[in-house]
Amino acid sequence: MTEDRWSEIAKGALRAELKRRDLTYGDLAERLKPLGIEETANAIAKKVNRGTFSAAFLLASLKAMGCPVLRLDDA
């Protein structure tokens, strides 16, 4: 797989977890604050839509959403 494909998988995984938990980008922004990450809902939306976020941002977001496991079986 190419790096672009992995970016698409990461973007899809983050979106899926938000949807699964019925959270918005604004909700995620609020949940990231206690972890020391100050982002606006718009900034998060842009990152996710472009697929240009770091692994650190992905992990922090998953933690903030209460996602203990990320499955890559279908990747």
Residue 28 is assigned to a structural domain of this protein: yes
Residue 24 is assigned to a structural domain of this protein: yes
The answer to whether the beta carbons of residues 17 and 7 sit under 8 Å apart is no
Residue 52 is assigned to a structural domain of this protein: yes
Range of the domain at 36: 3-65
pLDDT digit string (tens) for the chain, length 75 residues:
898 899 999 999 999 999 999 999 999 999 999 999 999 999 999 999 998 899 999 999 999 999 988 877 765
Residue 7 is assigned to a structural domain of this protein: yes
Query: Could you tell me which residues come within 8 angstroms of residue 43 by beta carbon, excluding any fewer than 6 positions away?
Result: 29
Q: How many CA atoms lie within 13 A of 32 on its CB side?
A: 21
Residue 61 is assigned to a structural domain of this protein: yes
How far, in Å, are 6, 26, 62 from residue 71 at the CA level?
Answer: 14, 24, 12
Number of domains in the chain: 1
